[in-house]
Amino acid sequence: MCIEEICRRHDIALVGLGRILHYKKARICGQDVVLAKPMTYMNESGLAVHKLQKMFSFAYSDMLVIYDDIDLPLGSIRIRERGSSGTHKGMRSVIQHCGTQDFPRLRIGIRNPVRRTADIIRYVLKPLRGQSFAKLQEGVVSAAEAAQMILENDIHGTMNIFNRRKNSLLLQKEEAKTSTRRKNE
Q: Say what the pLDDT of residue 115 is.
A: 64
Using CA atoms, how far apart are residues 171 and 101, in angstroms rounded to an integer? 29
Tens of pLDDT along the chain (185 residues)? 999 999 999 999 999 998 999 999 999 999 999 999 999 988 999 999 999 999 999 999 999 999 999 889 999 999 999 999 988 999 999 999 999 999 999 999 998 766 666 667 666 667 888 898 999 999 999 999 999 999 999 999 999 999 986 655 554 444 444 444 444 44
**Overall domain count for the chain:** 1
The enclosing domain of 123 has a CATH number of 3.40.50.1470
**pTM exceeds 0.85 for this model:** no
Beta-carbon count within 10 A of 1 CB: 16
Q: Which domain holds residue 105?
A: 2-184
- Cα dihedral 74/87/155/164 (nearest 10): 40
Predicted confidence at residue 166, as pLDDT, reads: 63
